[in-house]
Structure 1
Amino acid sequence: MPQSTEPLRKLGFLTIGLFDEADPRPGHETTLSVIELGERLGFDSAWVRHRHLQYGISSPIAVLAAATQRTRRIELGTAVIPLGWENPLRLAEDLATVDILSGGRLNPGISVGPPMHYDTVKEALYPDTGDVEDFTYTRVERLLSFVRGEKASDFSGKVGIEDFSDRVQPHAAGLVRRMWYGGGSLRSAQWAGEHGMNLLTSSVVKAEESEDFAEVQRSQIETFRAYHPDGKAARVSQGLVVIPTDSASPEQRAKYEAYVAARTPRTATPQGPARMMFARDLIGTSGEIAEQLYAHAGFREVDEVAFALPFSFQHEDYVQILTDIATKLGPQLGWHPSSVPSS
């Protein structure tokens, strides 16, 4: 359990990658430049969100494929790909291809369940099979089997001059050990542990045993590790929204404070029939944020994080926030930046 004297081992960040509907390229380019900045600042990982039919990244694997060609060291992750939108076999091909291009730096995060607003997209997404699609953990098991290199076809061999494989190609050795499950309930934490995955915890959890967000998250992490073959060594990454203001201008601080104030009411009690709880955004100097993190029961269970960047800020705001995280907050947590290997 990390205390203030124990170092944070891995520091990452998460971005939604917003863009303008009328001119989407600049937003995607900005996302790539933010990832490049993260590598220069020494972050261990950069993660992208997945947004369908919205003005955020709809194809994170394509974006990360581009990022593999602009970076050399930083790990690249998805948080998370909702498998309800995906064919597991095709996704396994895409993941393996990008992992090969990255030199083994891909960290795919996934989740299950019906697509958001499923009734409105069912006819477009699954016009013939919408009522029989399986959105359970079985979908994850299919994906994991293909990533591991298990059989995907009953045929292999040569037809004419063409060779065929009975498993997904290319095969990315080691990728299955970098598969993450984005869980927010005790059931999902247990399932991820039983299946040997890594666990992504975020700023949203299901209030089951408590209405204290940090205690709920701690309980889920403990459950995950209790069922994981690696026990206490099983990997967990925490993703809270943190906004350090050390080098922010007065105008930026005012904007950040207004953003946090608007989002804070939803953190008071569980929301909706599913009783989902949202973590408070952490804002202040790096010293103040570090103090709050060390008092957080969930944070004390992890040694790696992927702090989430706020929605809807400007590029210069993200530059300031990332720079402060890497140069001020990270060191407060005992973290040391990684260097980009020389040519």
Structure 2
Amino acid sequence: MPTPDVPLEKLGFLTLGTFDGDDPGPGMESTLQVAELGEQLGFDSVYLRHRHFQTGISSPIAIMAALSQRTSRIAMGTAVTPLGWENPLRMAEDLATVDILSGGRLEPGFSVGPPIHWDDVKAALYPDTADREDLTYERVARLLRMIRGEAVSTFAGTAGFEEFSARVEPHSPGLGDRIWYGAGSKRSTQWAAEQGLNLLTSNIIKPEDGDLEQDGKWDFAAIQQRQIALFKSHHPDGDGARVSQGLVVIPTDSATPEQRAKYEAYVAKRTPRTSAPMGPPGPGLLAAPDVLGTSDEVAEKLYADAAFREVREVVFALPFTFEHEDYVQILTDMATKLGPALGWKPSA
């Protein structure tokens, strides 16, 4: 529980990894350079968003494979991979391969449910099986069994000159303990805890019955605090369960006047969505306010956040429409100003 007297243990950041659709290379190289800078600045982790049919990272495993050869210490994760797009067995093989190549640094996060714009993409994604695909929690459970080394093939032994295993190969011991789940609802939060997963709680949450405050206003931090409490109460590790909070945080200590103006306009444009859940019918998704200011101002706001006081690690999200030099400034201020203001110390 970070307080002015108890230091934040782990500091990470999340990037969308945008690129120009007509010339993707420079944007992808920028993403790799941003992650390398994160390691140089002492960040504990870098997380990649996962996007399809957009000019953002569609294959974070490929990006993490490249990063595994360009970094040596920083942990790499996804926040989150929507598993409805993936074959769990092939995903287990790829994750274990990159985890081994990185020296055990992967911390992938997942979610379930139908892919976004399901009716538009299902014929391309699952032309013969779309109506029979299991897009429930069981899809994650399958992946977990495969990652944890359980037997999933009915054949093991020798066929000709070749040896076959009943488990997915390669197997990376320890990877199964580093899997995160991006939960938004109470049901998904409790399920993730009961599976022994780690919890990624972000700047988007689904409010439910009883979450509206007595004054008729929505309090994102209070809802998120209750989500974290629910998770810990059902997790085998209790209060020791890993929970990471993700908010959009923009320190401005070394920003130029032009950058500050850009950041302020970005936050102002997004603020209206924080007042009420988005999207009918019924309560939709509620967004947390972006946190903008000097590192001392940001730290003061975070210490006042009820959910922040319940976590030991954070993964702050980088705004997805900024330029490379903006990310350099923001990350540098996070590591050299904001992190220390929260009691965090950079990794060697």
TM-score for the superposition, normalised by structure 2:
0.96
Alignment match, 2:215? none
SS at structure 2 position matched to 1:61? helix
User: How much does 1:5 deviate?
Assistant: 1.2
Deviations 1:245-295 (A, max 9, x none): 000000000000000000001111111135210001000000000000000
**Aligned equivalents of 1:98 and 1:237: distance in 2?**
22
Q: For 1:1-343, what aligned pairs fall within 5 Å after superposition?
A: 1-208=1-208, 209-210=211-212, 211-272=218-279, 273=281, 274-339=283-348
Identity across aligned pairs (percent)?
68
Structure 2 gap segments, 5+ residues each = 213-217
- Deviations along 1:185-220, one digit per CA (max 9) or x if unpaired, are 111110110000000000000112232100110011
- Decide which moves more: 24-33 or 205-214: 205-214
Whole-angstrom distance in 2 between the partners of 1:127 and 1:107: 31
Aligned counterparts of 1:53 and 1:162: Cα–Cα separation in 2: 39
Looking at structure 2, the residues matched to 157 and 279 of structure 1 have their Cα atoms a distance apart, in angstroms, of 53
Distance 2:89 2:15 in 1: 27
Q: Give 1:159 shift.
A: 1.2
Runs of 4+ in structure 1 off by over 6 angstroms are none
- Cα deviation digits, residues 152-187 of structure 1 (max 9, x gap): 210011111111111110100000000000011111
Question: Which residues of structure 1 form unaligned runs of 5+?
Answer: none
Q: Offset at 1:23?
A: 0.6
Question: For 1:315 and 1:123, how far apart are their aligned partners in 2?
Answer: 36
Give the residue type in structure 2 aligned to 1:263: R
Over the residues paired in the alignment, what is the CA RMSD in angstroms?
Answer: 0.7
SS of the aligned residue for 2:109 comes to: strand
Q: Distance in 2 between matches of 1:220 and 1:102?
A: 32
Counterpart of 2:128 in 1: which secondary structure? coil
2:149, 2:167 within 8 Å by CA — same for their partners in 1? Answer: yes
Q: CA deviation at 1:312?
A: 1.0
SS in 1 for 2:132: coil
